[in-house]
Amino acid sequence: MERRHFLVGQRISLSNLSEEDLSDDAPYFQWMNDLDLDVFTERGRFPNHPARHRSYFDRSADRGSIVLLGIFDNATERHIGNVSYKDINWHSRRGFLGYVVGEADFVGKGIATEAVGMFLLYGFQKLNFHRVHTTVALDNVASIKVLERNGLVREGVMPEHIISGDRKLDVAVYGTLAENWMPAHADRVRKNYQSAPF
Ligand SMILES: CC(C)(COP(=O)(O)OP(=O)(O)OC[C@H]1O[C@@H](n2cnc3c(N)ncnc32)[C@H](O)[C@@H]1OP(=O)(O)O)[C@@H](O)C(=O)NCCC(=O)NCCS
């Protein structure tokens, strides 16, 4: 069956994941085992496991504290990455932003920048977030570019926050408020949508 995308962009679309996307031999499961994608993060301390994979999705499916959308390439319909809000606090209206571009042939082409922009507009306009925040290792130059191009501001640095073998990584907190982000970025990001629903 042809997938109907949720947030339809010019080049990529953001959509819920199907059972097929979640299966053990699908790309998403493999990304979670790809240590090359975990150089500056600490997601991959343990091998991925079907039950763990499933439970993260199930928590997202009930929209309690996680919203998880796949990034799909419009031209090929390939599932190439994910964007998510986790630790959502609906009272204070904030979410913690996460993203991954898992397919190597799509890295460095502006996909994360575009997906994060679209997802921020959705967060502020559709989920009514007041604040979006995230953390990023200072060595993760590509990810910092993604955040700063999308108007997230460095709010502080947590020294040696991640320890991985001999490496001790300083990690920055980035964030923005709807009232700052919307006037500066919403119009630009709407152009990434085929037709912006908000
Ligand atoms: C970080 C990540 C999301 C970037 O995705 P992407 O689609 O390649 O990002 P974009 O192409 O939109 O932007 C990245 C920018 O950084 C640049 N870049 C990539 N690697 C770089 C490096 N090692 N040093 C300097 N710049 C780099 C890219 O060229 C691009 O800049 P440009 O547009 O000026 O050429 C992706 O590499 C990834 O999923 N990494 C693993 C998971 C991760 O770190 N997630 C973020 C956690 S905070």
Instruction: Going residue by residue through the chain, which has 198 residues, state the pLDDT in tens, using 9 for 90 and above.
Output: 678 899 999 999 999 999 999 999 999 999 999 999 999 999 888 999 999 899 888 888 887 889 999 999 999 999 999 999 999 999 999 999 999 999 999 999 999 999 999 999 999 999 999 999 999 999 999 999 999 999 999 999 999 999 988 999 999 999 999 999 999 999 999 999 998 888
Give the nearest ligand 1 atom to 102 CA.
Answer: 39
Query: Which of 107, 138, 147 best tests ligand 1's pocket when mutated (most atoms within 8 Å of CB)?
Result: 107
Q: Which stretches of 43-157 are DSSP H helices?
A: 50-61, 111-125, 141-149
21 phi, psi to nearest 5 deg: -65, -25
* Beta pairing class for 131-137 and 94-101: parallel
Atom index in ligand 1 nearest the CA of residue 37 equals 41
Computed on alpha carbons and rounded to an integer, the radius of gyration of the chain in Å comes to 16
> Do the beta carbons of residue 175 and residue 155 sit within 8 Å?
yes
> Would you list the DSSP string of 46-74?
S---HHHHHHHHHHHHTTSS-EEEEEEET
Question: What's the rounded Cα separation, in Å, for the pair 190 and 30?
Answer: 32
Which two three-digit tokens encode residue 29?
Answer: 């499961």
The Å distance, Cα 112 to ligand 1 centre, comes to 7
pLDDT value of residue 2: 75
Ligand 1 interacting residues, C-beta cut-off 6 A: 37, 40-41, 99-101, 107-113, 136, 140-143, 145-146
Rounded to two decimals, the pTM is 0.96
The H helix count followed by the E strand count for the chain is: 6, 8
pLDDT of residue 61: 82
> Which CATH code, of 3.40.30.10, 3.40.630.30, 3.40.630.10, 3.40.50.970, is assigned to 7-190?
3.40.630.30
Distance CA 86, CA 98 (A): 8
* pLDDT score for 1: 63
For ligand 1, atom 17: residue with the closest CA: 142
pLDDT at 80: 98
Which among 24, 5, 27 is positioned nearest to 16, based on CA atoms?
Answer: 5
**Helix, strand, or coil here: 191?**
coil
Up-side HSE of residue 62: CA atoms within 13 Å toward CB?
7
